[in-house]
Amino acid sequence: MKFIKSIVKVILPISSSALILISCGTSDDESIPNDPNSTIAIEDPNFEQALIDLGYDDILNGSVYKDNISQVLELDVNNRSISSLSGIEGFTSLKKLNCQLNTIFELDVTDNLDLEELYCAGNALNFLNVTNNLALQKLDVGANYLTVLDVTNNVNLIELEFYNNNIVQIDLSNNLGLELLLCSYNNLISLDVSSNLALWLLHCYGNQLSSLQINPGLVSLVCYSNQLTSLNLDSNLELETILCNDNQLASLDLSNLTNLNGLNCENNDLSCINVSSSQLNNIPIYWIKDDTAIYNTDCN
């Protein structure tokens, strides 16, 4: 009986050791690295933390599974202290990206071919590439440090905002569907939107414009604080608002603008403003001019 007990005592420790070894072997197998082709690098930990908060990632380790992000349609990482969106190329189905109010320096969305809306205002961008984004309809890149913006390939653009940048020139000749353009406070010297027939709202104040060619369908024109010496409004029958104060206009003809309710033409070189007889008899209360200027049906 003592002999049997001794055998049991010997066997039990050996059996336990075997179990422990088996368990350790299983843990080692689980620690084998994942296939690197299944993940994409996320350089900025704040960007990755945002992805974790949104449920697309679970561990802050500098990468995210491609399968977790490849079908995402909308991504909002607004105001998350992000300096780099490296890894955004993995969001191959993305249609809407909001990355406003961060500190992003460069943004390349050339692999996000389905992108329709991009909101990246309030960053530190000095580079933006949207040349491959042919589906893009809305772009807001205001309040950055861009000196160049190429939207010639973005033929489906409807809304374009690049206010508060350092852009000197912009080619909008291919953006025929453009309806809204906000490009105030840049360094634009000339602006031609004469071929943008769908455009109804134009804000281009606070530039250095000496030449402005507008389209006939404009409803609202805000072009104050420029260097304009002339402004041809003969074909702009739809205009309801014109703010052209603080320019160098020597003449202004409003006689064809029967829908014009709002006007500010102060601080120009105007002594006479041409209006129709019906306008002269009923000057709208929201028309503002210098006290030294007069309204008349014939300023010649």
pLDDT band for position 9 (50/70/90)? very low
pLDDT for the residue numbered 36: 63
Interior CA angle at 240 toward 175 and 284, to 5°? Answer: 165
Kindly report, residue by residue over 148-162, the tens digit of the pLDDT: 999 999 999 999 999
Q: Looking at the predicted structure, is the pLDDT value of residue 24 above 60?
A: no
Look up residue 253 and give its DSSP letter: B
Kindly report, residue by residue over 186-234, the tens digit of the pLDDT: 999 999 999 999 999 999 999 999 999 999 999 999 999 999 999 999 9
Q: Which residue has the higher pLDDT, 4 or 203?
A: 203
Q: Looking at the predicted structure, is the pLDDT value of residue 12 above 70?
A: no
pLDDT band for position 173 (50/70/90)? very high
| Cβ atoms 286, 262 nearer than 8 A | yes
The amino acid at residue 76 is D
pLDDT band for position 37 (50/70/90)? confident
Q: Looking at the predicted structure, is the pLDDT value of residue 31 above 90?
A: no
Q: Looking at the predicted structure, is the pLDDT value of residue 107 above 50?
A: yes
pLDDT band for position 34 (50/70/90)? low
Residue with tokens 């104060």: 245
Query: What mean pLDDT is predicted for residues 1-24?
Result: 40
**What fold, for 32-157?**
3.80.10
Local structure of 30: helix, strand or coil: helix
The Cα–Cα gap between 182 and 214 comes to 14
What rounded mean pLDDT belongs to the chain? Answer: 90
Domain locations along the chain: 32-157
Q: Looking at the predicted structure, is the pLDDT value of residue 90 above 70?
A: yes
Q: Looking at the predicted structure, is the pLDDT value of residue 246 above 90?
A: yes
The Cα–Cα gap between 140 and 161 comes to 5
The amino acid at residue 129 is N
pLDDT for the residue numbered 177: 98
Q: Looking at the predicted structure, is the pLDDT value of residue 33 above 80?
A: no
- Percentage of the chain lying above the pLDDT 90 cut: 87
